[in-house]
Structure 1
Amino acid sequence: MSSYLTLLKTPGVARVIAAQLTARFPFGMLSLAFLIHIEQIFDSYGAAGLVLGAMSIGQAIAGPLTSRLMGRWGMRPVITATLVVCATSIVTMALVPMPIWALMVIGLVAGLSTPPIQPAVRTIYPKIVNSRQLTPLFSLDASAQEIIWVLGPVIATFVAIQVSPVAGILLAAIFLIGGGIWFLVLPEVGRVRIPRSRRKLGVVLKRPAVMLSTIVGFMLVAACAAVEAGVVAAFGHGSSTSGWVLGIFAAGSLVGGLALGHAPIGPWALAGRMLIVTAGLSLAAAGNLSFWWLAATLLVAGIGIAPAFAVLFGIVSASVKFSDTAEAYGWVGTGQLMGAAMGSAIAGFMIDQSGATAAILVAAGFAGLGTIIPALGRRWHPDLRGRDPSPLPDTAPIQVQVS
């Protein structure tokens, strides 16, 4: 823990982490709040899964595009524009009665305009710490973001039940606006300039580590989305128990990230961390869906989540040039958001057909694939043991003056 405290004392680190967590906090609330809101209106988890899926698909499409635009127009203009559109769309979905197709359309717009704060902050990190601190910082960030998933579901469930689902959605919008403005005014956001990439959009996916991270991120987040839907269905939208269980799931990730943050990242690192997730979810699906059983098994599953994310961030950082980092993280984010869409949609329909246990089985299946893929593709997994994980330097012509 002392090493993390030392890291937080590095100028700029604590405020960048705090601001970006606040800006991203609503995304720990919105899925559950919209799930409860739409299920209450249409009496269908499948309908809720469609809307959440449309939002996630929009985010997936936007990820690499808005990330790349930051290299052309700058971080602040891109984040400001997307923040305004995204917040407006979310508030409209909460307050204006409309059919499912209209909710899906506006949800798609909200997803397309999601502020690219995560790619921005991943690009800033290598510029505010030295190379030895970068891997621990990625781990600390992956652990700290679990605060979003610990408190987000609990707050969303509490507000949705005690006040209304609409109030939960509006509270998330307030976090989005306030946190977004805080992030925008940080001096580090103004100081770090992303060089304009000379490559075509998507070329960075030819980097094996980027593709591996994108695919495994898809599987990991699909598993988490399916778990979220399954837990809500197991306890019903009128119970706060689901929020506590999901909070325990995220607390396991927080503990795992802090405990494994300094573990060496070798070729088996990603498969090993995903195996922990798979084991916990398989146990959850094998038992009854009681509070204590789910709390215990999802706590185990959670231990592998933040460490897996830290590995994803680390191997991408070490594999691309600085000018390509934002786009690379945008593609990784796209994979994760497509996973959220797929996990929510499949789990929603499986719940309608077979009950909550089916959603947990779906989650275990996604996690299992997320374990097998990096095990088979370990030769494309960078070995970062004793290696600088900072982005590769961009090369540029050198002017030579001849006398």
Structure 2
Amino acid sequence: MPYLALLGRPHVVRLLSSSLVGRLPGAMAALGIALTLRHAGYSYQMVGLTTGVFAAAGAIGGPMLGRLVDRTGQPRVLLFSACLAAAGFALLAAAPGVTWAAVAGAAVAGAAAPPLEPCLRTLWPALVEPDDVEQAYAVDAGAQELLFIAGPLVVAGIVALAPARDTLWAAAVLGLVGSAGMATAAPSRAWAPAATSAAPHWLGPLRSTGLLLLLVALGGSGVAVGTFNVFTVAYAEKHHLVGGAGTLLALSALGALVGALTYGAVGTSRWKASAPDKAVLLAAGMAGSYWLVALVPGPAGSCLLAVLTGVFFAPLLTVSFGLVGELAPAGAVTEAFAWLVTFIGVGIALGAAVGGAALSGGTLRTAAACGALGATLGAATLLAARTRLTPVRADVSPTVAGTDRHSTV
């Protein structure tokens, strides 16, 4: 299905745009919190602690909120969490000079971040025809890259016109608007988890061995991304590069956008390999691109390689979205998608820490090699687990009562 036709399907534009608006606070938070605290006179140590609390709280809260969605539906969880997250941002913005308020606000805002990302991915099978679901995931993965570009730009624009704390007020409002847009849409209101006769398991979707191995492998990919984030800063300090580290990160995001859209347009229809085989090959390609980064070429070469790192990552996510939906046990799909976000986020945090340590005691090449090793271990895990990456249930589509793909709000 052409992209314009996919976007023309009922509800798609509303749900996709609402999800992006509501997730924009997550892309704004790290920079917005850092600037707000620095303007309030805090040290970089406090900045690191507070932003770390925000990230850690999100990693913990995401799967918990996903589990609540699987048990109670989307609207009430989205609206409640959005209000709670907005309160967290408001607390931090209203009293940035009060240590306990800053830490508590960051913790609440992170833990209560609305699960818009997993909620949207559980809805795609109800929004498009079965043959177009993978292409919808590609659009989702590509649109996600826009957040990494737009988030810092929004913060920069607000700071140029107003106090830094206003970025947090804006994050609170955007989260509420985006969540309300999705929660009030007909597919979200009608969505219900697949029926299951089994009693809830304390491990939730992680009881699926195949899913757990897939998530661990994606964590390895996250390590590569996190290391690259730190590597670009150090690289820009030693090489003349217009725009500094931001240029390399923007090029990587651009590569991911191109990779996702290209895969959605061509790979979903012409590449006939199985999803597990695609995941292995894409992960191997990503690992190869990071080993090339470890050669530490000049600025022109590094810019090209930055694009290449993204080209493989976004299609890998696209294929993984489909695998998560197939591997998750019935009644636990939303939580499974939330765990995907958590594993990648933890991998990115670990990669940043490892990359920083490598740069402190080593060279650019050592730091880049750490990221490449993470991606390689992720690819090796997928290869070893390839036979386990098979569906545990036949019907992976969520139940949508009282509506269908052609219904309107």
Q: In the alignment, which residue of structure 2 is the partner of 1:202?
A: 203
Residues 158-169 of structure 1: matches in 2 within 5 Å?
165-169=164-168
**Alpha-carbon separation, structure 2, partners of 1:216 and 1:164:** 41
**Alpha-carbon separation, structure 2, partners of 1:64 and 1:283:** 35
**Alpha-carbon separation, structure 1, partners of 2:247 and 2:280:** 28
Which residue among 283, 303, 308 is the counterpart of 2:311?
Answer: 303
Identity of aligned residues (%): 23
**Alpha-carbon separation, structure 2, partners of 1:235 and 1:155:** 23
Residues 131-280 of structure 1: matches in 2 within 5 Å?
131-157=130-156, 165-195=164-194, 198-232=199-233, 234-235=235-236, 241-261=244-264, 262=268, 263-264=271-272, 265-280=274-289
Q: Which whole-Å deviations, capped at 9, do the CAs of 1:65-111 have from their partners, x for residues lacking one?
A: 21111233331111111111212223433453358787455433222
Question: Aligned pair in 2 of structure 1 residues 157, 85: CA closer, same or farther (>3 Å)?
Answer: same
Q: Within the alignment, does 1:328 sit opposite 2:336 as a pair? A: yes
Q: Within the alignment, does 1:313 sit opposite 2:314 as a pair? A: no
Structure 2: 5+ residue stretches without partners? 400-409
Q: In the alignment, which residue of structure 2 is the partner of 1:378?
A: 386
Structure 1: 5+ residue stretches without partners? 395-403
How does the TM-score come out when normalised to structure 1?
Answer: 0.82
Q: Which whole-Å deviations, capped at 9, do the CAs of 1:201-259 have from their partners, x for residues lacking one?
A: 324222233112321232223332333344345557xx964334322211100111111
CA RMSD of aligned residues (A): 3.3
**Alpha-carbon separation, structure 2, partners of 1:57 and 1:67:** 16
Q: Which whole-Å deviations, capped at 9, do the CAs of 1:167-198 have from their partners, x for residues lacking one?
A: 44444334323222222222221121235764
Question: Which shifted more, 369-378 or 33-42?
Answer: 33-42
**Alpha-carbon separation, structure 2, partners of 1:330 and 1:240:** 34
Q: In the alignment, which residue of structure 2 is the partner of 1:92?
A: 91
**Alpha-carbon separation, structure 2, partners of 1:297 and 1:64:** 34
Q: In the alignment, which residue of structure 1 is the partner of 2:116?
A: 117
Indicate the SS of the match to 1:267. Answer: helix
Question: Which shifted more, 61-70 or 337-346?
Answer: 337-346
Q: Within the alignment, does 1:341 sit opposite 2:341 as a pair? A: no
Question: Aligned pair in 2 of structure 1 residues 162, 13: CA closer, same or farther (>3 Å)?
Answer: same
**Alpha-carbon separation, structure 2, partners of 1:170 and 1:357:** 40
* CA shift for structure 1 position 128: 1.9
The AA in structure 2 aligned to 1:381 is: L
Indicate the SS of the match to 1:180. Answer: helix
The AA in structure 1 aligned to 2:245 is: S
Question: Which shifted more, 16-25 or 339-348?
Answer: 339-348
Indicate the SS of the match to 1:6. Answer: helix
Q: Is the 8 A contact 1:134 1:389 kept in 2?
A: no
**Alpha-carbon separation, structure 1, partners of 2:281 and 2:296:** 24
**Alpha-carbon separation, structure 1, partners of 2:27 and 2:279:** 24
Q: Within the alignment, does 1:287 sit opposite 2:287 as a pair? A: no
Indicate the SS of the match to 1:333. Answer: helix
Indicate the SS of the match to 1:29. Answer: helix
The AA in structure 2 aligned to 1:16 is: L
**Alpha-carbon separation, structure 1, partners of 2:18 and 2:210:** 28
Q: In the alignment, which residue of structure 1 is the partner of 2:73?
A: 74
**Alpha-carbon separation, structure 2, partners of 1:20 and 1:104:** 26
**Alpha-carbon separation, structure 1, partners of 2:38 and 2:351:** 17
Indicate the SS of the match to 1:323. Answer: coil
* CA shift for structure 1 position 115: 0.8
**Alpha-carbon separation, structure 2, partners of 1:392 and 1:320:** 11
Give the paired residue count. 385
